[in-house]
Amino acid sequence: MVVLDYGSGNLRSAQKALEAVGAQTTVTADFASALNSDGLLIPGVGAFDACMRGLRQVRADVLVDRRVAGGRAVMGICVGHQVMFQTGVEHGVITSGLGQWPGIVEELHAPVLPHMGWNTLDAPQDSELFAGLHDQRFYFVHSYAVTTWELGQLDPNRTAPKVTWSEHGQRFVAAVENGPLVTTQFHPEKSGDAGLALLRTWVQSL
């Protein structure tokens, strides 16, 4: 298991959480190690634009494309979830994301920002990631999110992505399960027993 080091924070807490659920984990920026690992975790804190600069420096755009195309597991957390979408807009700065899904990451319309604290989720009943966790709360720290899911069922022979929602001022995408690519806007590594249970489910699926 690799936690991708591209200059973002929160790497060690993600590593510790994965190790707590039984994964042997390395924090590295090495392309070959990240490409060939059983699972790749991309955390992220801070600005979308800064995270994308760091990701491109370690060729994460190529890395994610190759892993997803090969059916190899990738998980993104917080800004690591946001960068999987097409575009991020922060303070008037428009930045291209990794483009795994269409959608724009924008500031939430809410009375208080950032959205910080525990919140409930609206997950699909057939979600594998949230199996047994539908009544749990998870920990969020963010001001930006995707509020419109734009990818429909394009191929009837393929399973549509499973999209989980939450709400802070308005509904936003809180998690996506799309084959080998799984992402969460919240921080499972900071979400207590529920977060560890979610990470354990992901690790055991590899």
pLDDT in tens, the chain (206 residues): 999 999 887 799 999 999 999 999 999 999 999 999 999 999 988 899 999 999 999 999 999 999 999 999 999 999 999 999 999 999 889 999 999 999 999 999 999 999 999 999 999 999 999 999 999 999 999 999 999 998 765 555 567 899 999 999 999 999 999 999 999 999 999 999 999 999 999 999 99
- pLDDT number for residue 150: 82
Catalytic residue from among 81, 142, 168, 187: 187
- Which pLDDT belongs to residue 155? 58
Q: Is 189 a catalytic residue?
A: yes
pTM of the model: 0.95
Q: Mark whether 78 is an active-site residue.
A: yes
In this structure, the dihedral spanned by the alpha carbons of residues 182, 183, 188 and 189, taken in order and rounded to 10 degrees, is: 90
- What's residue 153's pLDDT? 55
Query: Is there a catalytic annotation at residue 142?
Result: no
Q: Give the pLDDT confidence score for residue 8 in this predicted structure.
A: 83
- Axis-axis angle for helices 48-57, 60-69 (nearest 10): 80
Which contacts of 58-66 are long-range, i.e. CB under 8 A and separated by 24 or more positions?
A: 58/4, 58/5, 58/6, 58/29, 58/31, 58/34, 59/31, 60/4, 60/6, 60/98, 61/98, 62/31, 63/4, 63/31, 63/34, 63/35, 64/40, 64/98, 64/100, 64/181, 65/98, 66/35
The CATH code of the domain at 2-205 is 3.40.50.880
**Given the residues 78, 81, 142, 168, the one annotated as active site:** 78
